[in-house]
Amino acid sequence: MNKKYFIHTFGCQQNVADSERIAAYCESAGMKKASSLEKANYVVITTCMIRESAENRVYGMVNNLIPLKEKKLKAGEEFTIVITGCMTGMAHRDKTGKMMKEVHRRMPAADLFLPLEEIGFELAPLRADSKTAFIPISNGCNNFCTYCVVPYTRGREISRPFENIVKEAKDAYKKGFKKVLLLGQNVNSYGSDIFLDGKKQQDLKPVYVKHLGKNRIPTLFPHLLEAVAKIGFEEVNFMSSNPWDFSEELIDTIAKHKNITRTFHLAVQSGDDEVLKRMNRWYTAKEYVDLVGRIKQKMPEAHITTDIIVGFCGETDKEFQNTVKLCKKIHFDRAFISIYSNRRGTHAYKHIPDDIPHPIKDKRWKLLDKLVNSQFYAENVKK
């Protein structure tokens, strides 16, 4: 009898894209998709660690599967629980072995901890969305923002070969996909690892991102975006992009192609320079405002959305008010605001005390959410 697989995905669109490849991997191993979790005997859970609540949901789900697993095994059926994604990535990268021990202890019913690297990009993904093709262009991140687990869960940034991505995009277009979403933790630094390794990618000249008057990194992202835009999709989207890697060439490339999105998600995280420094974000509030100004100058129709963290370690009232001021200046179309929570393994967890009391974090969250998102809620949330 064919094994039946069921995949449950926690977290971001990058995880959704990973799960699409895991589905292809399962099918290549002769398994069939189960119509529900109860009918499966190979359950894959793609995990997220961005917040403690996401991590706890994974533990909760695996532990809730224990009665089903026991029932299946008693009936002589196979039942395997596979944990993959960020949690497994972090556990495999933790050289002390402590995290692996902990995930085993907290999920005794899990059978396998499979690092995503084992899936690779050779198999064509089994796409879950029928309109938008999710295409990962890179994995991991080199930025080490002090609050973020990604460099530990996904490792250092690795870019996929240019031709490989363009081929996947062309295949998706031929199959009828109207939209494409290029994915990476830091899409606009795409290709820098290739050049820093001294390798050439075709004859493409790297675009140097200027930061504080210096060449920061060589990137191929404007070339890649243009190559994908020319395929003919109705809409080309990308996420996430970092403010400090948003080059002038990238702005010009987007402005040149009408089918590239005009909605830019640019995480600001804070409007205060000292907080940004503590977060290891490489721009000032003024540089961020100037960047948005340059984007809007070339594309007045641009929409800007953002991520903001309130109550980061040591955030004073004055520092928070600088975030309020920045929001009043920019008029974001939407902000995804989160209350800071300490993530194990990060620089902030080890070195910067999480000292803002929860009621203050909560008050700041409510104030900012009302200021930035009330218009969005009024237009989008049904009463």
Q: What residues make contact with ligand SF4 under the rule CB under 6 A?
A: 141, 143-145, 148, 150-151, 185-186, 242
C-alpha distances in angstroms, 342 versus 59, 280, 347, 348, 362? 18, 15, 10, 7, 15
- Nearer to ligand SF4 (CB atom), residue 148 or residue 254: 148
CB of 103 to ligand SF4, least distance (A): 21
CB of 278 to ligand SF4, least distance (A): 13
Please give the Cα distance from 285 to 268 (Å, whole number).
8
Please give the Cα distance from 322 to 51 (Å, whole number).
25
C-alpha distances in angstroms, 79 versus 38, 42, 72, 123? 10, 6, 7, 25
Tell me: cis bond preceding 138? Omega within 30 of 0 counts. Answer: no
CB of 104 to ligand SF4, least distance (A): 26
CB of 151 to ligand SF4, least distance (A): 5
Q: Which amino acid is at 237?
A: N
**Main-chain phi, psi angles of 119, to 5 degrees:** -80, -45
CB of 138 to ligand SF4, least distance (A): 11
- Nearer to ligand SF4 (CB atom), residue 12 or residue 368: 12
- Nearer to ligand SF4 (CB atom), residue 186 or residue 253: 186
- Nearer to ligand SF4 (CB atom), residue 132 or residue 242: 242
CB of 307 to ligand SF4, least distance (A): 8
- Nearer to ligand SF4 (CB atom), residue 145 or residue 348: 145
- Nearer to ligand SF4 (CB atom), residue 6 or residue 238: 238
